A and B are shown apart, each in its own frame.
Chain A
Amino acid sequence: MYEMLLVLTLALNLSSDLIDRRVSRSSRIDALSLWTGIVQLLLICPFLGLVDVPSLPQLAVLVAVGWFSSYARGRWYAALSDQTQRLSRFTPFLRMSSVLVLLFAVLALGETMSERAALGAVLMIGAGFIVSLDRAHTSLAEFLKANQALGMVLVFALSNALVSVAYKHLLNLGLSIISIYFFLKLFQCTPLVAQSWRAGTLAYSYDEITNLRLFVASRALQTLAALLFLLALSKLDLSRVEPIVALMPLAYVVWEWLERRRGLPGASPAPNRRTVVVQVAALALSVVGFLLLR
């Protein structure tokens, strides 16, 4: 039953990403980041009673990770708003967060890395590299320009990795998962609100989000997915969770294929043969690497 809940979580996240892609293309990125932070915080406020007060060092970790992840989310929206990109192209880079988690766990938390995990990491890094070669380039400058969005996704993956490591670290210190979640949302939101307040755009900046209803629906889906994921995680072993999570990249590819086949609005144009081959190879490497990593 909880496995089904996990699959539902994936579907919710996929829906949220697809909605965000549509909304972000004609919205102001700053406004998206700011209101994502605010809405997500407001959506979890009924859990305030379950929130414990962290110690000062814990608070410092939460502030730092919260601030960086709020910045990284802005980069994620900027990447999504790039109309030359497809979600499936981003996924190997998003998955890179697992490699980074492993790296941080080894460096910061003193964990060890098995040979199998190292192989998985290499495969995933290779997948990311392959994906960046799916377009022909004549110079380094052109290569960098074409993959600017991937760089932004990498920043987002780094922030996801930091969030995961922070979770693990703070859970080890005895802070509850809902407390970590709440304070992360709070500190993701705070710098953006302060910045917007200073600029005098706080009260009305959501006017610059193209379709506010879709945007709020996406936040609701995302919050629901997060809460369901936490619930599933509390009931299932990681060995059951990870293979299911590994399905996510494939879900993007399948959806984009369906979009094109059905001619849905906003569907990206059909990629050429080279792109298809490169992306399938990258995704396969990414999924295998991810499973090895775990």
Chain B
Amino acid sequence: MRSEIVREYTYREEVLPIVLLGALLNLAGPHLNASLLGFHLVFLDMGGTLLAAMLLGPWWGAGVGVLSNAFNGLAFTAYFPFAVVNVAGALAWGYWYRAARADHEVFSPEGRGDLLRWARLYLKLVLIAVLVCAPLGVVVKASVYPLMDIPLHYNKPIYLDVMGQLVAAGVPLRADVLAVLLIDAWREVLDKGGAVAIGLAFALALGAIPRLVVPDPQRIPLRQRVCTDSDSILWFVVMHFAYLMMSRITMPEITLESASRAVLWMREPRVVALLYAPIVGGVLAFILLSHDSNTPLGAAIEAARRARSGLYHRFRLATVALGDSQGGAALLKLPSFKSIYGLGAMLVVWPYRAKLAGFGPLVPAAIILIAMLVIFALFFAESRAFKARLERAGRWFEAIARWRDLRSDARHANGVMQAFLEMHRGLLSAGGEVPRHAGDLLYLPLINVATSGVLAEARRGGLERLVVFATPNSRTLQRADLTTVRALLERAGLHDAMVICDAPGFADAEARDAFRAVTGFDLGVLNGEDLARTVARFARGEDVGYTVVEGRLAGSAQRLAEDGESHAWRPGEAPAHELAGRALPGLRDVIDHLPQASRVADLGAGRGRHTLYALLRGHSVIAIEQRHLTFTDLGTNVAHADGAAQRAVLVEGDYMAVESAALRRLDLIVITGVLQHARDHADLQRRLDRLHSLMHTPGGAIYVEMLYDMRFDGQPAKDRVTIEVAGFERMLVERFPADSWSIERTGGPAYSVLDFSKGGRSFFSQASFVEQVAAEYLITHTVTPEGSA
């Protein structure tokens, strides 16, 4: 089976803050000790290393170690060569932490408040540091000191004293080495005792990032448990390179007090060997101990990371509601972790703090201490708020996804109602009411809109008081349901209702008129997409609100019908972003929320509207098109996308037969307006099999637009499969079973008539008018406990 890259964390939201925080802690330790505490032979420069090794993994910890050493080396003479001690400490802590399942020990719900567990962890981490760092520190000294004609004991009284006692006791080993080892071990107890306390305090305050998602970590074999992701190793090597480059440029020659001469330390074979050791370790860890997507743990971690990444993207991107003109730059930044810039700035200005030395010895330390405390406080506040929002928003997104799943039932409608209530807590007068059943409907009676705030837009749309209804996605509202709605409204003495419903037929003008005719009332409709936008707004810290279109609350599902824009372009004539702007709205939303630099396959790409949309969003695309003329247009259109074109692979051929390296690992497969070309049910089944075989990525998705009941200038198409919505959805459910796939109907079925009288757009049409019923599906490859444990 093919092995894919597994990444444990997202860079920007998860790794960068911890790495910066860790480096800053490592920088602060020695300076605060030197300025304020004054402990002899203590550096406190590995607290951040421990923090990163615990929360992110051993190689990120090692990266923090070399990064902080690169900066500390600028301030402390002969500091540079000791980076290898920091690296070794990080690796020992990080690997032990994983092997011993210590994260579950202290970050599980029962472990988090258990101080005894934290105390045990503290002692073990200090012991590990002493066992690893003390001997390695002696090795570094033994490699560097003799080059400057300095004895290993450095002529310090404390070492000489112990050495004298060892000689007097007749110890057969080298007394100088043993004396240094013993004293350094004791020094490490003090030093690492402080560093571990700092690291643990920050780890406790920040909390763990949910790396492990399998239900029973006890069953995971040791070798899988200690695996790290290859990204962390790669980034460590890059940071190691930066550290060496900085050492080479700023401190190629070092000298110590009482040294007879300076030494070009990086030229010494023993030092080169020490510097090479982490690289060799990294290569070995990469080959032997990095995650494999074929292992249950690897697949689960990758899926969890992708899910979190999707959430972050939802928060970061401007998702503009229908008819809503806001968005853009104001919403582009993640509304959390702004203090990360403060952390980064502190790292940059750190080397210049000596400029403040003229104000006396305590002033620089005091200024730095105050600045750090402020930034740390901001960081923790943001971190906590962000995590709380993320957790809630994640839960709500899941509720919406379950509700839209083809296999959904009333239970999931209840879930989405609860999410709706929670989202508007404090803003609705009867927010805590439990939903009730009325026939097949689920409803919340007597929910009054607050006099101000979140639903102000709704009120402007004429909805003073609401009854909210939810319907399972697998069915549409019938006239009987509308009658039920009217009866409930009359009984409650209300005039308006809000319906949460994913059937666009209910939102279109005909149905709205029908509802008005039956009930005499106007009506607001929200679909899954509207709810998702509302969740994203909540997570960004904005007011949740709805947009009024034509005097009613509106969902965006009706945009399916708006897709039939009449203007046609010749290839290369329209700017890439205009062509991309014609991408299906539901699909745009999916592409917007893909993790950064994802891989997309556009099967039956046509002239490339979806290919271009994905390219302009920064993803890589393989676009496959069979018809020669259309393929030529596709090439022309993609070539006009400038730099983005380099991320495209265009293949002329049948997607059923094409084999390409670019199809190897996909995050999203797009297949819109293609499957209806299947000749019969067997052919359709083969095409679904092909889609199934192409998607291996945990958390990856397939976006399908299926067209039913097509008529070309009134005539049905020949040699094409005849299938109803229900029949196709049954095939989907069978081919993509619930144990590892979810299937959401994200749009439709919606009837429309497309006007091709002025020429084809995404494809060449032989008819002037094409009638069709379109439905869109998002099929997501999930990782279940059965599949992962």
| Per-residue A-contact encoding for B661-677, CB less than 8 Å = 1, 0 else | 11011000000000000
Q: Which of A28, A203, A213, A216 contacts B597 (CB 8 A)?
A: A203
B275 close to A46 (CB less than 8 A): yes
Residues of A within 8 A of B283 (CB): 43, 216-217, 220
Closest to B273 in A: A46
Interface membership of B27, Cβ < 8 A: no
A200 close to B266 (CB less than 8 A): no
A49 close to B266 (CB less than 8 A): yes
Using C-beta atoms within 8 Å of the partner chain, give the interface range for chain B.
35 or more
Interface residues of B in 208-266 (CB under 8 A from A): 230, 234, 237-238, 240-241, 244-245, 247-248, 252, 264-266
B599 close to A207 (CB less than 8 A): yes
Instruction: Determine the distance from Cα of A47 to Cα of B269 in the docked complex, in whole angstroms.
Output: 10
B290 close to A213 (CB less than 8 A): yes
B286 close to A216 (CB less than 8 A): yes
Closest to B5 in A: A207
A49 close to B662 (CB less than 8 A): no
Interface membership of B765, Cβ < 8 A: no
Closest to A196 in B: B646
B240 close to A213 (CB less than 8 A): no
Interface membership of A208, Cβ < 8 A: yes
B244 close to A208 (CB less than 8 A): no
B643 close to A199 (CB less than 8 A): yes
Q: Residues of A within 8 Å of B, CB-based: how many?
A: 29
Interface membership of B620, Cβ < 8 A: yes
Task: Indicate whether A45 sits within 8 Å of B647 (C-beta atoms), given known contacts A201-B597, A210-B2, A210-B661.
Answer: no
Interface membership of B758, Cβ < 8 A: no
Interface residues of B in 378-433 (CB under 8 A from A): none
Residues of A within 8 A of B240 (CB): 42, 45
B287 close to A217 (CB less than 8 A): yes
B248 close to A51 (CB less than 8 A): yes
Interface membership of B3, Cβ < 8 A: yes
Residues of B within 8 A of A41 (CB): 241
Interface residues of A in 16-63 (CB under 8 A from B): 26-28, 41-43, 45-51
Instruction: Determine the distance from Cα of A248 to Cα of B775 in the docked complex, in whole angstroms.
Output: 61
Residues of A within 8 A of B76 (CB): none
Closest to B648 in A: A199
A208 close to B597 (CB less than 8 A): no
Residues of B within 8 A of A203 (CB): 596-597
CB distance from A51 to the nearest CB of B (A): 7
B5 close to A45 (CB less than 8 A): no
Instruction: Determine the distance from Cα of A46 to Cα of B269 in the docked complex, in whole angstroms.
Output: 10
Interface residues of A in 185-228 (CB under 8 A from B): 198-201, 203-204, 206-208, 210-213, 216-217, 220
B661 close to A49 (CB less than 8 A): no
Closest to B286 in A: A216
CB distance from A178 to the nearest CB of B (A): 10
Interface residues of A in 41-90 (CB under 8 A from B): 41-43, 45-51
Instruction: Determine the distance from Cα of A27 to Cα of B661 in the docked complex, in whole angstroms.
Output: 5
Instruction: Determine the distance from Cα of A68 to Cα of B37 in the docked complex, in whole angstroms.
Output: 57
B662 close to A28 (CB less than 8 A): yes
B272 close to A49 (CB less than 8 A): yes
Closest to A41 in B: B241
Residues of B within 8 A of A27 (CB): 661
CB distance from A25 to the nearest CB of B (A): 9
Residues of A within 8 A of B764 (CB): none
Residues of A within 8 A of B237 (CB): 42, 45
A199 close to B647 (CB less than 8 A): yes
Residues of A within 8 A of B596 (CB): 203-204
Instruction: Determine the distance from Cα of A75 to Cα of B287 in the docked complex, in whole angstroms.
Output: 27
Closest to A24 in B: B661
Closest to A200 in B: B618
Instruction: Determine the distance from Cα of A48 to Cα of B266 in the docked complex, in whole angstroms.
Output: 8
Residues of A within 8 A of B2 (CB): 210
Residues of A within 8 A of B245 (CB): 45, 48
Interface membership of B267, Cβ < 8 A: yes
CB distance from A108 to the nearest CB of B (A): 32
Instruction: Determine the distance from Cα of A199 to Cα of B599 in the docked complex, in whole angstroms.
Output: 14
A46 close to B276 (CB less than 8 A): yes
Interface residues of B in 651-691 (CB under 8 A from A): 661-662, 664-665
Task: Indicate whether A49 sits within 8 Å of B276 (C-beta atoms), given known contacts A211-B3, A212-B230.
Answer: no
Residues of B within 8 A of A200 (CB): 597, 618, 643-644, 646-647
Interface membership of B102, Cβ < 8 A: no
Task: Indicate whether A49 sits within 8 Å of B265 (C-beta atoms), given known contacts A200-B643, A204-B597, A210-B664.
Answer: yes
B238 close to A48 (CB less than 8 A): no
CB distance from A124 to the nearest CB of B (A): 34
Interface membership of B279, Cβ < 8 A: yes
Q: Which one of B238, B241, B647 has the highest number of Cβ atoms from chain A below 10 Å of its Cβ?
A: B241
Interface residues of B in 5-25 (CB under 8 A from A): 5
A208 close to B662 (CB less than 8 A): yes
Closest to A204 in B: B597
Q: Which of B5, B241, B244, B646 contacts A199 (CB 8 A)?
A: B646
Residues of A at the B interface (CB closer than 8 Å) are: 26-28, 41-43, 45-51, 198-201, 203-204, 206-208, 210-213, 216-217, 220
Q: List 28 A-B contacts (CB under 8 A).
A: A26-B661, A28-B661, A41-B241, A42-B237, A42-B241, A45-B241, A45-B245, A48-B244, A48-B245, A48-B248, A49-B248, A49-B252, A49-B266, A50-B266, A51-B248, A200-B618, A201-B597, A201-B620, A201-B647, A207-B599, A208-B662, A210-B661, A210-B664, A213-B287, A213-B290, A216-B283, A216-B287, A217-B283
Residues of B at the A interface (CB closer than 8 Å) are: 2-5, 230, 234, 237-238, 240-241, 244-245, 247-248, 252, 264-267, 271-272, 275-276, 279, 283, 286-287, 290, 596-597, 599, 618, 620, 643-644, 646-647, 661-662, 664-665
Instruction: Name the 3 nearest CB pairs between A and B, nearest first.
Output: A49-B266, A199-B646, A46-B275
Known contacts A48-B244, A207-B5, then 10 further A-B pairs from the complex at CB < 8 Å, ordered by chain A residue: A46-B244, A46-B279, A49-B272, A50-B266, A50-B267, A201-B646, A207-B665, A208-B661, A212-B286, A216-B283
